[in-house]
């Protein structure tokens, strides 16, 4: 038997924080790739501490639904899962975006635990960002005439956070699909507040690299960009700011294709996922305008 455990932050205050985790777990569950798919959280139940005992399987793939390498993925989760002999160098990352997986036993259960790198730094995450741009614009071919802003926290909270944002922005830029691609940040230059200054395109899709919608993605960023005076009144999509059309996507983690990244992480760590990756890619595709 093999189990997938998706570990995410969760919240004591926001009931919707765990919604993307459950949604992606359901998508993966529907593929039948794993005997068991479970969710565990830092701020909800089951807690990381009790995650491994909630599955019967003796092979467990743990995939963090986190954006970057850092405090949670390198320190909190391994400690709380009680991974024996965890050493961050086992991930062989070093540049903040290359952690793949490492295998351990845990000292409270008799299981083999394959601990994967965070979803946010997997290469497939670039595809999710692009897919997010497709879904917010409603155009499966969006790109020409459009700019794309990938937004994250800056380094103040986590030194690798900015690295993950830049990594995906660079990868998407290299594909040449969008006219312009920029990495923007909340608490350092280049700042998302000045989004229109960094793009010449008339249309700019803004995709925050966050797992769940919450204070930052639904209050802070929309107000800072000038989409609305007051987040409670909502905003248009697209909204006109300084004569440019801003297509604000909200948290990338809510995009259904995110389930694909979790599967890829587990597959990289050795899980047998059959054709689940193809199923998820197919099943979450954005349909274009209906043909008349």
Partner 1 sequence: MEDAQLDAFVAAAEDGVDCDGLVAARRSGGDGQNEAAGEYVFAVDGDRRDNLDESTFRSLASDHSSYGGNWYFWERGVPPGDDRVAFLRWLEGTDTTQLPERLDRLESGVHATWGQLHVTVSLDPDGDAGEYSRQYALCHADDVTSDGADLTEYHDPLDARELSKLDEDGRYRPLKTAPTLQRGWHFPDLGPHELVRAVECFYPATIPNWYREGEGDLDIDNWRDTAERQTGIYEVVEELPREAVEWVAQACCVDSQCLKRREWEYDDDEELAAPAGDGEFPCREPCSLVVAAARKWTILEGESERTYEFELTPSEKNQLEELIDAVADGRVDDVREADVGDGANRYRARYLRAKRFDEDGNLCGVETTNGDGE
Among 31, 59, 74, 75, binds partner 1 (CB under 8 A): 75
Tell me the closest approach of the beta carbon of residue 3 to partner 1, in angstroms.
Answer: 10
Tell me the closest approach of the beta carbon of residue 194 to partner 1, in angstroms.
Answer: 30
* 12 lies in the binding site for partner 1 (CB under 8 A): yes
Would you give the binding string for partner 1 spanning residues 100-119, x where CB under 8 A is met?
Answer: --------x-----------
* 175 lies in the binding site for partner 1 (CB under 8 A): no
Cβ distance 9 to 17 under 8 Å? yes
Region of 42-50, 119-127, 141-149, 242-250 interacting with partner 1 (CB under 8 A): 42-50
* 15 lies in the binding site for partner 1 (CB under 8 A): yes
Tell me the closest approach of the beta carbon of residue 254 to partner 1, in angstroms.
Answer: 17
Among 28, 31, 44, 275, binds partner 1 (CB under 8 A): 44
Region of 38-46, 140-148, 217-225, 253-261 interacting with partner 1 (CB under 8 A): 38-46
Q: What is the C-alpha to C-alpha distance for residues 8 and 62, in angstroms, rounded to an integer? A: 10
**Residue 21 vs 93, nearer CB to partner 1:** 21
* 87 lies in the binding site for partner 1 (CB under 8 A): no
Structure tokens at 39: 């969710």
Backbone dihedral angles phi then psi of residue 120, each to the nearest 5 degrees: -65, -20
Cβ distance 35 to 92 under 8 Å? no
Tell me the closest approach of the beta carbon of residue 206 to partner 1, in angstroms.
Answer: 28
Contacts of 155 (CB under 8 A, 6+ apart): 161, 162, 188
Tell me the closest approach of the beta carbon of residue 46 to partner 1, in angstroms.
Answer: 4
DSSP line for 221-269: HHHHTTS-SSGGG---SSEEETTEEEEE---GGGSTTHHHHHHHHHHHT
Tell me the closest approach of the beta carbon of residue 18 to partner 1, in angstroms.
Answer: 8
Q: What is the C-alpha to C-alpha distance for residues 6 and 8, in angstroms, rounded to an integer? A: 7
Q: Are strands 101-106 and 109-116 parallel, antiparallel or unpaired?
A: antiparallel
The label of the residue with tokens 């007051």 reads 230
239-241 sheet: strands from edge to edge = 180-185, 146-152, 203-208, 244-248, 239-241
* 156 lies in the binding site for partner 1 (CB under 8 A): no
**Residue 71 vs 198, nearer CB to partner 1:** 71
Q: What is the C-alpha to C-alpha distance for residues 263 and 216, in angstroms, rounded to an integer? A: 27
Cβ distance 78 to 101 under 8 Å? no
Tell me the closest approach of the beta carbon of residue 38 to partner 1, in angstroms.
Answer: 8
Region of 6-14, 176-184, 225-233, 268-276 interacting with partner 1 (CB under 8 A): 6-14
Q: How far is CA 123 from CA 107, 129, 145, 171, 264, in A?
A: 32, 11, 25, 9, 9
Tell me the closest approach of the beta carbon of residue 210 to partner 1, in angstroms.
Answer: 19
**Interface ranges with partner 1 (CB under 8 A):** 1, 11-15, 22, 26, 35, 42-47, 49-50, 53-54, 56-57, 71, 75-76, 79, 108
């Amino acid at each position: 038997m093999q189990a997938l455990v998706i570990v995410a932050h969760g919240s004591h205050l926001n009931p919707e924080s765990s919604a993307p985790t459950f949604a992606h777990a359901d998508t993966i569950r529907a593929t039948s790739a794993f005997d068991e798919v479970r969710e565990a959280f830092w701020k909800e139940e089951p807690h990381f501490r009790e995650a491994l005992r909630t599955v019967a399987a003796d092979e467990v793939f743990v995939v963090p639904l986190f954006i970057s390498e850092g405090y949670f993925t390198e320190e909190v989760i391994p400690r709380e899962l009680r991974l024996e002999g965890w050493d961050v160098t086992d991930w062989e990352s070093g540049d903040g975006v290359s952690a793949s997986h490492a295998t351990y036993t845990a000292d409270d259960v008799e299981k083999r635990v394959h601990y994967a790198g965070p979803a946010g730094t997997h290469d497939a995450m670039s595809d999710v960002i692009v897919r997010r741009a497709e879904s917010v614009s409603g155009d499966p071919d969006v790109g020409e005439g459009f700019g794309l802003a990938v937004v994250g926290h800056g380094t103040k909270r986590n030194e690798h956070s900015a690295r993950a944002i830049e990594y995906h922005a660079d990868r998407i830029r290299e594909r040449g699909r969008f006219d312009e691609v920029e990495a923007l940040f909340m608490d350092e230059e280049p700042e998302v507040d000045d989004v229109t200054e960094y793009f010449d395109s008339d249309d700019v899709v803004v995709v925050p690299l966050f797992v769940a919608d919450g204070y930052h993605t639904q209050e802070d960023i929309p107000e800072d960009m000038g989409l609305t005076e007051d987040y409670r009144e909502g905003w248009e999509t697209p909204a006109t700011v300084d004569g440019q059309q801003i297509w604000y996507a909200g948290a990338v983690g809510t995009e259904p294709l995110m389930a694909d990244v979790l599967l890829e992480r587990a597959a990289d760590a050795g899980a047998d996922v059959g054709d689940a990756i193809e199923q998820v890619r197919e099943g979450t595709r954005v349909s274009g305008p209906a043909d008349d």
